[in-house]
Amino acid sequence: MHGMLPVDMTIKLSDLTLEDILPHRGDMVLIGDVLEADDTHALTTSVISASFPLADETGVQPLIMVELAAQTAGVCNGLDRIRTQGIDSNSMGWLVGIKRAQFYVTCLPFGSTVVTRSENIHNYENLREVSCVVHMDDILIGEITLQLYQV
């Protein structure tokens, strides 16, 4: 068994940037704002943009909700990594598997605000199962269950 790593629960979300937490950069950062986060859940907002992957002339395909869910899950799991391993710890991303995805819309219109909530429902060392829900205008538009693995 490895030695215990220092835990610094005093690190606050407001002290960090998305670049500190997520491995994504530039146009691949789809999260606009983090409303709340701890080491088990996160709540984010995103404004749907023509610069998003999967955009066409009518809006963005609903499959983008999988990436929004994965980035939202990355917020709470990245915050947990920073608190338990330090800000300079390995920030490589997680391998993501889609266990289940259900979409209730056919398109996400440009300019609409999407709220994504992720919650770790199982946590086994470097493996997480994450339940995510996506809302637009307080209407449920997607439910995604992800399996995350960090090498």
- Using alpha carbons, list the distances in angstroms from residue 58 to 104, 108, 130: 17, 8, 30
Nearest-angstrom CA–CA distance, 108 and 116: 13
Question: pLDDT value at position 126?
Answer: 84
pLDDT per residue over 13-71, tens digit each? 676 767 766 666 777 789 999 999 888 999 999 999 999 999 999 999 999 999 999 99
Question: pLDDT value at position 6?
Answer: 55
- Going by DSSP bridges, is the β-strand pair 139-149/113-124 parallel, antiparallel, or unpaired? unpaired
Q: Which domains does the chain have, with CATH numbers?
A: 13-149 (3.10.129.10)
Nearest-angstrom CA–CA distance, 61 and 82: 33
Nearest-angstrom CA–CA distance, 37 and 44: 9
Mean per-residue pLDDT, 131-139: 97
Q: Which pair of tokens denotes residue 102?
A: 């259900």
Question: pLDDT value at position 3?
Answer: 41
Contact (Cβ atoms closer than 8 angstroms) between residue 118 and residue 76: yes
Nearest-angstrom CA–CA distance, 63 and 116: 14
